[in-house]
């Protein structure tokens, strides 16, 4: 995925690096196991933001869970781009919800993106809308 961003990397093409791991089961199904998303300026060695994702069972269903979503060196809008990419992946794979660890996230960022903090858990949940 390439695009233009207005923060940090003004007018430069951005690349989304997508590292996916799945597990092929005997019945032929492929189960999602982990995903690493990283955003960088084309041709630059350093990442602007990254997201670490896995697919645990929460409340009796397999979900997309973002363990860590971090911008580097003040690239805050790039964090949103990665969240959008994770949501697109979740929708394309039929997930109904996205969960995110709240330890390193700002609560106002999560609430603006439609996440609801879960009581007695260090995570928040967003129900995906399919249109």
CATH of 2-127, one of 3.30.365.10, 3.40.50.360, 3.30.565.10, 3.40.630.30: 3.40.630.30
Question: What are the 10-residue block averages of pLDDT along the chain, 131 residues in total?
Answer: 46 82 84 87 86 91 90 81 91 93 84 92 91 74
Contact at 8 Å (CB) between 30 and 114? Answer: no
Q: Looking at residue 2, what is its pLDDT?
A: 44
At 3 the pLDDT is 47
54-92 tens-digit pLDDT: 999 998 988 999 998 888 877 778 888 889 999 999 999
Tokens 């609560």 found at: 107
Domain residue ranges of the chain, discontinuous segments joined by +? 2-127
């Amino acid at each position: 995925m390439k695009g233009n961003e207005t923060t940090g990397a003004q007018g430069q093409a951005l690349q989304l690096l997508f590292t996916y791991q799945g597990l092929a089961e005997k019945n032929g199904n492929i189960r999602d196991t982990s995903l690493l998303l990283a955003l960088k300026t084309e041709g630059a060695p350093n990442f602007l933001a990254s997201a670490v994702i896995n697919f645990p069972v929460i409340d009796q269903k397999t979900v997309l869970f973002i363990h860590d979503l971090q911008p580097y060196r003040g690239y805050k809008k790039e964090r949103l781009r990665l969240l959008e990419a994770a949501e697109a992946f979740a929708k394309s794979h039929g997930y109904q919800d996205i969960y995110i660890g709240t330890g390193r996230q700002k609560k106002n960022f999560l609430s603006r993106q439609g996440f609801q903090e879960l009581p007695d858990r260090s995570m928040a949940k967003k129900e995906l809308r399919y249109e």
